[in-house]
Amino acid sequence: MVEREAPAAQHPPPSHPLTHEADSGYDGGTSRWVARAARSGRATARATPAKRPAPPPPHLAPCMAFFILEEKCVGCTLCAKECPISIIEGATKQAFRIFAPDECIECSLCAWVCPAEAIQNPFGEIPPKLKATQRPVAWIDEEGCTGCEVCMEACPVDAIAKVTASDPGDQSPTQVCRVDYDTCVSCSLCSVMCPWETISMALDREEAHELATLQGTLPLAASAS
């Protein structure tokens, strides 16, 4: 097996006006994700506002992915079970690896569940462990949402659906997009791609559930449970 070197830690994480990375331990590779989504056809051209800098050419862009430190890995299998796109492989009690780093969506789930602190983010840092309720989730400001579906097309786990706006005083109800917080994997791609900048990663799962309950905007599956 060819060993892959861990990414260097000298590059600070890119900032995003709608996130609170410092508080949540969440890092996002926004420019890389804009380029990937555009190449894959999962989002429309208007999802890349002109004011955002263009991503570097593919041959100059670094491979931004999480990395498993094999010497620290205990082979517990948790990272492989959590990975939403199934790019982690290995055998129980043996070192695991990310076999397709180009496909990593940087959602942090593998690092958040690792008991051995054996997984680095793309900047060479070990993210702190986070319980499911503490992880940042996408929150859509439905007053600004136009229902354009760009976020739905961008979401790698289909955690966003289109629903009727829940304002009882609205005489002509509109269709808006809404996140299933229990399915969201915190990758922030929807936030990056939203052309109206109505999606933030500023709430953790527990906070999002509480606020949605107060506003009456919980997804149907969550409100029925």
122 and 65 Cβ atoms separated by less than 8 Å: yes
User: Whole-structure pTM over 0.75, yes or no?
Assistant: no
Under DSSP, is residue 149 helix (H, G, I), strand (E, B) or coil?
coil
Please name the fold of domain 133-220: Alpha-Beta Plaits (3.30.70)
Domain 24-120 and domain 133-220 have a common topology: yes
Question: pLDDT tens, 50-96?
Answer: 333 343 333 333 446 899 999 999 999 999 999 999 999 999 999 99
Every domain of the chain and the residues it spans: 24-120, 133-220
Q: How far is CA 161 from CA 9, 33, 42, 165, 183, in A?
A: 37, 21, 15, 12, 11
Under DSSP, is residue 189 helix (H, G, I), strand (E, B) or coil?
helix
Looking at residue 141, its pLDDT comes to 93
What CA–CA distance (Å, rounded) separates 110 from 119? 7
Under DSSP, is residue 77 helix (H, G, I), strand (E, B) or coil?
coil
- In the predicted model, is pLDDT for residue 105 greater than 70? yes
Find all residues with CB under 8 Å of 111, minimum gap 6, and list them.
66, 79, 119, 120, 121, 126, 127
| Residue 35 vs residue 119, higher pLDDT | 119
Percent with pLDDT over 90 in the chain = 56
Q: Which CATH number, 3.40.50.300, 3.30.70.20, 3.40.190.10, 3.40.1160.10, labels domain 24-120?
A: 3.30.70.20
What number of residues does the chain have?
225
Q: What is the signed CA dihedral for 148, 179, 189, 16, rounded to 10 degrees?
A: 100
What CA–CA distance (Å, rounded) separates 55 from 34? 8
Question: pLDDT tens, 109-168?
Answer: 999 999 999 999 988 999 999 998 899 999 999 989 999 999 999 999 999 999 988 665
Q: How far is CA 164 from CA 48, 154, 187, 209, in A?
A: 26, 20, 25, 19
| Residue 160 vs residue 9, higher pLDDT | 160
- In the predicted model, is pLDDT for residue 44 greater than 80? no
